[in-house]
Structure 1
Amino acid sequence: MRRVVAYELVSLDGVAESPDSFLFDFDEVMHDHLREVIEEQDTVLLGRRMYDEWAAYWPTSDMQPFADFINAVPKHVVTSTPLTTPWTNATALDGTSLGASVEELKREDGRDIGVHGSIDLARSLLRAGLVDELRLVVAPTVAGRGRRLFEDVDLTRLELLRSTTSPSGALLVDYAVRR
């Protein structure tokens, strides 16, 4: 069975919204970590807000390795309305049956299913017990305000799989979600 892996950029106080406002240095160790994450994925789940933002940005971006990955990978967008911004390999996934849809994707052959950004979607998947692994980049910054990744998420036990410190001081931590 495939795994759902949420890759999130967060501040030390758990803010995940607008990581460009608190993550100032994305160094080579962080790039290698991202490269490892996306090399294991062949499908991505996105929330509608993230999809609309990214569909306007990534098709013309040259920020590697993520641009080539996100532009080519099949993207399932959790939404209740039709997609109005075209983007290669993007399909709408009915948000009213999120659990069943994600379980069906997990049963298909393939590699990991990634969740990138999409804070509300990541929270929903965590609450539903559908996230198998969290891969976090924790910036050495206290953001103070913004939407936090773990708001309205019940007690979730995690098992540390790996931790690394990057030269710029970010913590790269990978956790398995314990069931």
Structure 2
Amino acid sequence: MGKIVISANATLDGVVQDPDGQEGFGPGGWFHRFVAVEDLQAWTTNETGEVLHAEALLLGRRSYEWFATRMHGADVRVSPEWADTMNGLPKYAVSSTLENPEWNNTTVLNGDAAKEISELKRRVDGDILVYGSYQLVRTLLAEHLADELRLTVFPVVLGTGQRLFDEIGDTTPLRLADTRKIGDGLVFCTYEFLHG
């Protein structure tokens, strides 16, 4: 049985919007602006390890397209090992509009998202990693399909912006499973969703 693992980067006040600054959100670009180079190197090692232990990627359309355009040769900005692993993993893109995915090993889930993801969890044995994909994350939370949240907290408060748990109507209990410091500025927290 697969485990849906949401891996998210957020500011100290929970903002997940526009970490790379390419969406035009005023305070966007916080991913690189507010963290020392050493912290990003330590984060890269952490991220590489996370991907190495995943069995599949589950992405919304926009996040799928964002990653797909960056996983080729000179466009890779994180590490070649991370990109190679991302390229080799089976990928599942949740979209009603994506018709001809160009990224290798991609299956488009274009029906009932909750039903198809439930089936995916039954088929895949291991971690199904979700990066970005905040609309998809909200569906996963609403349908109680997420099993774990891995949150990397960046040391900045923006005061505005879209947050990971915006528009979540229900109380969502979680249990802190692990926390550790990455470099001198980042905190990595692992939470388990408590269902039932």
Q: CA deviation at 1:69?
A: 1.8
Give the match for residue 156 of structure 1. Answer: 172
Distance 1:111 1:59 in 2: 26
- Report the 3-state secondary structure (helix = DSSP H, G, I; strand = E; otherwise coil) of the residue aligned with 2:71: helix
TM-score (norm 1): 0.91
Distance 1:105 1:53 in 2: 22
Q: CA deviation at 1:40?
A: 2.1
- Report the 3-state secondary structure (helix = DSSP H, G, I; strand = E; otherwise coil) of the residue aligned with 1:18: coil
- Report the 3-state secondary structure (helix = DSSP H, G, I; strand = E; otherwise coil) of the residue aligned with 1:43: strand
TM-score (norm 2): 0.83
Give the match for residue 112 of structure 2. Answer: 97
1:44 to 51, 57, 69: 57
Does 2:30 align with 1:22? yes
Q: How many equivalent residue pairs?
A: 178
2:146 to 117, 131, 136: 131
Distance 1:135 1:32 in 2: 15
Q: CA deviation at 1:35?
A: 2.7
Q: CA deviation at 1:89?
A: 0.9
> Structure 2: which 5+ runs fail to align?
21-28
Q: CA deviation at 1:138?
A: 0.5
1:5-32 alpha-carbon deviations (Å, 9 max, x no partner): 0000111111112223112334343233
* Greater CA drift, 150-159 or 22-31: 22-31
> Structure 1: which 5+ runs fail to align?
none
Does the aligned pair in 1 maintain the 2:59–2:133 contact within 8 Å?
Answer: yes
